[in-house]
Amino acid sequence: MGFDRNHISHKGIRLIEYGGLFVIIVCTLIAGVQEILKMAAAGEVTLADLLLMFIYLEVVAMVGVYLESGKLPVRMPLYIGIVALARYLALDAKDMDTWKVIAVASAIVLLAVAVLAIRYGHMKFPYDSPGSAADEDKVH
């Protein structure tokens, strides 16, 4: 019976990953419930509320994809960034000057172009190994 440091370190890292993912899921669910309670108390649902709920849903989906595949698709955080910037515009556009609105809108376009470039790269130059990031593009 030998002592395998590699095996123990991999298990330790995996345990830390699962612990971190658990914390992310719990915090996201708590934040979602808090937001639902705020909407119920206000008696209305705004576009900003819906976009925030979508961000929470994307975080949960991202954790699910990571748990299922062991990999994190780069596009998912980009989607979250796009929605977060859109929410920021929806909330604060009336208080922003023209150049700030243009800057935020340009950032959204830049993130969208990044998503398209990554998607194109995965389709044009797919990975060879099964379960790779290219397979994630084919499932949808």
Complete DSSP assignment for 29-91: HHHHHHHHHHHHHHT---HHHHHHHHHHHHHHHHHHHHHHHS---THHHHHHHHHHHHHHHHH
Alpha carbons 27 and 30: distance in angstroms, whole number:
5
Q: Which residues neighbour 105 within 8 Å (Cβ) at sequence distance 6 or greater?
A: 89
Residue with tokens 């800057």: 103
Torsion of CA 40, 82, 129, 65, to 10 degrees: -10
Quote the pLDDT of residue 139: 41
Q: Is the pLDDT of residue 137 over 90?
A: no
Residue-wise pLDDT for 63-120, tens only, equals: 999 999 888 888 999 999 999 999 999 888 888 999 999 999 999 999 999 999 999 9
Residue-wise pLDDT for 17-54, tens only, equals: 999 999 999 999 999 999 999 999 999 999 889 999 99
Percentage of the residues of the chain whose pLDDT score is greater than 90: 65
